[in-house]
């Protein structure tokens, strides 16, 4: 595959996320990425000296978006749960290829050392939206957020607008007690 543009680093990122989503991170070698781009492994290593550095680079925009999302939820509180759920769906959709990669190989986040922090922040948002830390409330929040993530991963490249309304409405119902 010829390079897409003059930015080799961006080309590497694009091909890596495609291959990771298709095959999983562990099943994709840096050699495969270089071959797909028709560049040498040395050229790839110039930009990303290791697979872990490439993964970290790919994950950073998701981590930044999650931090922004968590800060937003802390700021606005639980007053508009549908708006918060929609925002989370949009975040997941933007990062769907990475989420597909992580689903194929969940150890990826732990390799980055970010899994604990991401889970802690998610629990914070769960508590805020569910209204308590009771197990039944946490279950509802887990189903709401997990369902949104799963929609994005399982719908693949289906346009988000084709399912967004149903996904957010279903997640909102999962949050409500009873």
Whether 109 and 159 map to the same domain: the answer is yes
One DSSP character per residue, 133-177 reads --HHHHHHHHHHHHHHHHHHHHHTTS-GGGTHHHHHHHHHHHHS-
3 is a domain residue: no
Sign of the torsion formed by the C-alpha atoms of 116, 23, 97 and 17: positive
Greater model confidence, 118 or 138: 138
* Per-residue pLDDT reduced to its tens digit, 86-106: 999 999 999 999 888 887 777
Question: For the chain, what is the domain count?
Answer: 2
Domain extent for 43: 8-49
- Pair (80, 121) in one structural domain: yes
124 neighbors 112 (Cβ within 8 angstroms): no
- Answer whether residue 45 is part of any domain: yes
Verify that 121 and 158 share a domain, yes or no. Answer: yes
Same domain? 32 vs 73: no
Q: Do 134 and 115 belong together in one domain? A: yes
What's the mean pLDDT in 156-177? 94
The answer to whether 145 and 115 are in contact (CB under 8 A) is: no
SS3 38: coil
Q: For residues 44 and 63, state if they share a domain.
A: no
Q: Rg for the chain (alpha carbons), in Å?
A: 18
Q: pTM for this one?
A: 0.86
Q: Are residues 23 and 93 located together in one domain of the fold?
A: no
Token pair 């991170």 in the structure block, residue: 25
Asked if the structure places residue 1 within a domain, the reply is no
DSSP E strands: which ranges in 20-151? none
> d(Cα 75, Cα 128) in Å, to the nearest integer?
11
pLDDT tens digits for 27-57? 999 999 999 999 999 999 999 999 989 998 9
Question: Is the same domain home to 65 and 130?
Answer: yes
Q: Is residue 170 part of a domain?
A: yes
Q: Specify whether 112 is located in the same domain as 37.
A: no
Tell me: do 160 and 99 sit in the same domain.
yes
Q: Same structural domain for residues 125 and 170?
A: yes
Count of C-beta atoms within a 10 Å radius of residue 123: 14
One domain for residues 34 and 110? no
The alpha-helical segments, DSSP class H, found in 24-76 are 30-37, 41-47, 51-76
């Amino acid at each position: 595959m010829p390079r897409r543009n003059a930015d080799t680093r961006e080309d590497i990122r694009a091909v890596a996320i495609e291959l990771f989503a298709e095959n999983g991170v562990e099943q994709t070698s840096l050699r495969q990425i270089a071959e797909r781009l028709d560049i040498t492994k040395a050229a790839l290593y110039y930009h990303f000296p290791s697979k872990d550095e490439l993964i970290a680079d790919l994950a950073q925009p998701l981590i930044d978006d999650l931090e922004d999302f968590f800060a937003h939820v802390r700021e606005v509180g639980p007053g508009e749960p549908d708006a918060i759920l929609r925002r989370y769906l949009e975040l997941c959709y933007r990062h769907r290829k990475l989420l597909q990669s992580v689903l194929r190989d969940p150890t990826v986040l732990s390799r980055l050392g970010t899994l604990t922090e991401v889970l802690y922040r998610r629990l914070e948002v769960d508590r805020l939206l569910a209204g308590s830390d009771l197990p039944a409330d946490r279950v509802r929040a887990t189903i709401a957020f997990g369902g949104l993530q799963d929609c994005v991963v399982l719908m693949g490249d289906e346009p988000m607008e084709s399912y967004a309304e149903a996904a957010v409405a279903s997640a909102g119902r999962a949050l409500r007690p009873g």
